[in-house]
């Protein structure tokens, strides 16, 4: 089993801001950095993305509407539950190759960078139930 570490940062933190912390973490570790912020300034978001961090700043309602329109709700919910592609294939009764396509389409259609952002998005839009 592969263990992945995700570091959750806010752009505004005491002493060392989230962008500087993300630069250090991304440059020196294999950790994924997810930056959450209520600051809706593109400059901050672009700086965070340049460090290698993923940034979640969409409202839950907007993303839920986009997921529904795009038909990505079920695959997104399964991704957010931490299922592997093989497990998603079994759950949806499709091939592994089809799941690979689904995952790529979910990320693309919702403008998400990676599975970490998919998990946050699913949580924000209440597509998942904690502990399930």
pLDDT at 126: 65
All domains of the chain in start order, with CATH: 6-49 (no CATH), 57-125 (1.10.10.10)
Reported as a single tens digit per residue, the pLDDT across 98-131 is 999 988 888 887 778 888 888 877 776 666 555 5
For the chain, which ranges sit under pLDDT 50? 59, 132
pLDDT at 100: 92
What is the reported pTM?
Answer: 0.48
pLDDT at 1: 63
- List C-alpha distances in Å: 45 to 52, 57, 69, 87, 115: 11, 9, 26, 33, 18
């Amino acid at each position: 089993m592969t263990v992945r570490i995700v570091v959750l940062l806010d752009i505004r933190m005491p002493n060392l801001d989230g962008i500087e912390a993300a630069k250090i973490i991304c440059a020196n570790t294999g950790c994924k950095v997810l930056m959450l912020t209520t600051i809706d300034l593109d400059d901050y978001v672009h700086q965070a993305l340049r460090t290698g961090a993923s940034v979640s700043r969409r409202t839950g309602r907007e993303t839920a509407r986009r997921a529904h329109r795009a038909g990505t709700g079920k695959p997104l919910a399964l991704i957010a539950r931490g299922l592997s592609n093989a497990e998603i294939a079994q759950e949806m009764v499709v091939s592994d190759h089809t799941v690979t396509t689904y995952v790529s389409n979910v990320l693309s259609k919702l403008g998400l960078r990676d599975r970490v952002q998919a998990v946050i998005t699913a949580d924000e839009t209440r597509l998942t139930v904690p502990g399930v």
